[in-house]
Amino acid sequence: MMIKFDYKKNKGFSIGEVILSVFILGVTMLTILSLYSQGLRSFQDERDSVIAAMLAQEGVELARNIRDNNWAKRDAVDDTDPGAFDLFDVSSGGAENDCRVSYDSYTINADNEIEYDNPAISCDVASSDYVLNISGNFYTHRSGTPTKFRRKLVLDYLDIENLIVKSFVSWDNANPPDNISECTVESKCVFSQTTLTEWGTGT
């Protein structure tokens, strides 16, 4: 008895099937890459907004430290006022919109006393001077490697004893605005604000 083998011919993919498969694979890969790219951009924006928020708060705290140290120095020396509260070199009752300050706006003298730059907070500066540079892992307005961050302080005296300090930080090489309403995360800007008052035991 003779055994017959029935061979079936295996069909290959048609050109249409190959093209359809390549198209589906291409669309899938593009979708994945697009989602990855959007996620990466979103992560970078979130990182930048966190850094900017810290820098904005630092601007306010630096202004507060200058006020505190001026009062401490005044009271410790002779209890007189060497222009202690008008420490920003601006007229009381007005506003200065183009100011800057850095953590390194001072030196330590031979008596271990803090001596601030004169003025400690520079006002009426050019917009290019808002750029924060990296120097020794710190952000500063002095020399260093330029970054995408820019910081501006707006000083507004409500009266001779009350000063509103607003610290604006923008990124993506955009200049900070003067108004809070113009400073949003969508416009790559954050701000911090505080009111400094005249205080101390001196007259």
60, 191 Cβ separation under 8 angstroms: no
Cα distances (Å, whole numbers) of residue 101 to 76, 158, 201: 25, 21, 27
With tokens 């271990």, the residue in question is: 112
101, 153 Cβ separation under 8 angstroms: yes
- Spatial distance between the Cα atoms of 126 and 130, rounded to a whole number of angstroms: 7
- Spatial distance between the Cα atoms of 47 and 30, rounded to a whole number of angstroms: 25
pLDDT in tens, the chain (203 residues): 566 656 566 666 677 777 888 888 888 888 877 776 776 666 688 889 999 999 999 999 988 887 777 676 665 555 555 544 444 444 444 556 678 888 776 666 666 565 666 556 777 777 778 899 998 888 988 888 999 999 998 888 887 778 888 999 999 878 888 888 889 888 899 999 999 887 654 44
The domain segmentation of the chain, as residue ranges, is 18-197
- pLDDT score for 30: 82
- Spatial distance between the Cα atoms of 151 and 55, rounded to a whole number of angstroms: 8
With tokens 């006393």, the residue in question is: 113
